Structure 1
């Protein structure tokens, strides 16, 4: 039987971080399932989901914990089994001039409608010909089966006008 784990990692950015993690997991018969990493303000941060034989769990966890002496900050969580349901997954895109509070307001509306945020990617980049920052975000969201998508769209469009951003919902 296998056990799944999710680890978050933050360390000073340098070559070889992924190699070190993947080697350690592999040495304990682990299988790298999914990950998402990026460099932020000189730090390399991300998450990894992996599985390993249950009898190797203590060994792999001890080996991962030993990375903290190499400037790694780790948080390790045991995965939970998930049942596959036919969920309504929608993609949300947000684009507009960067300003404080965009994610706060969007996430407030999503939470008030009991929408689960599954994945969020955001960035700020120089807006062509404007000289200011352009905020972009993409999210996969899980819509409750009893929620009218038009109601959510209306709520998001109301705050989009206040935030001066464009918000689009589309089927995945």
Structure 2
């Protein structure tokens, strides 16, 4: 029997962080399942899901919380895999950058009971001007009673410059 653990972590970015983290997981018979990691403002931050045998769980958690050995501040939560009949979709939203845009988009998603399963944001200059564009790539879990057209219309109502882009097949 095994347990899923969800790790969130941050530390000063330097070579070897992923190697030390992965070695610690393997030393406790853990299996690295999925992760998202990024260099942000000279910090290395991420989230990771591992599966570990129940008899190794406590030892792994203790080893992961050794900040000095790993060079990371790690928080560990037990996780479960939930089944749902929601539709999983990917989409991008692009518009002129302004304060509050993430809040506006997330309010629309919440009003439709759409769950964000993955979110990545970026700001970059528009190709033909010096205006900054906000772009978010999202993976969403959409309830079966919400149409994708309704989701798109609700997001585009936020402002006239906001565009919803569905990935091309």
TM-score, length-normalised on structure 2? 0.91
Match of 1:135 in 2: 134
Q: Structure 1, residues 139-159: CA drift from partner, whole Å, max 9, x if none?
A: 011111122333322211111
How has the CA–CA distance of structure 1 residues 166 and 137 changed in structure 2, closer, same or farther, with 3 Å as cutoff? same
Given that 1:94 and 1:166 are in contact with CA atoms closer than 8 Å, whether structure 2 keeps it comes out as yes
Q: Distance in 2 between matches of 1:76 and 1:60?
A: 10
How has the CA–CA distance of structure 1 residues 168 and 160 changed in structure 2, closer, same or farther, with 3 Å as cutoff? farther
Match of 1:66 in 2: 66
Which one is further off, 143-152 or 5-14?
143-152
Given that 1:90 and 1:171 are in contact with CA atoms closer than 8 Å, whether structure 2 keeps it comes out as no
Match of 2:104 in 1: 105
Match of 1:29 in 2: 29
Please state how far the C-alpha of 1:81 moved relative to its aligned partner. Answer: 3.3
Given that 1:116 and 1:142 are in contact with CA atoms closer than 8 Å, whether structure 2 keeps it comes out as yes
Q: Give me the CA root mean square deviation.
A: 1.9
Given that 1:2 and 1:51 are in contact with CA atoms closer than 8 Å, whether structure 2 keeps it comes out as yes
Residue number among 154, 160, 168 corresponding to 2:165 in the alignment: 168
How has the CA–CA distance of structure 1 residues 149 and 70 changed in structure 2, closer, same or farther, with 3 Å as cutoff? closer
Q: Distance in 1 between matches of 2:126 and 2:147?
A: 34
How has the CA–CA distance of structure 1 residues 171 and 119 changed in structure 2, closer, same or farther, with 3 Å as cutoff? farther
Q: Structure 1, residues 3-49: CA drift from partner, whole Å, max 9, x if none?
A: 11000010011111100100000011110000000011111100010
Q: Structure 1, residues 80-129: CA drift from partner, whole Å, max 9, x if none?
A: 1323x442112221112221111110100010111111111111123334
Secondary structure at 2:90 match in 1 = strand
Misfit runs of 4+, over 4 Å: 68-71, 169-172
Q: Distance in 2 between matches of 1:49 and 1:88?
A: 22
Which one is further off, 99-108 or 127-136?
127-136
Given that 1:91 and 1:140 are in contact with CA atoms closer than 8 Å, whether structure 2 keeps it comes out as yes
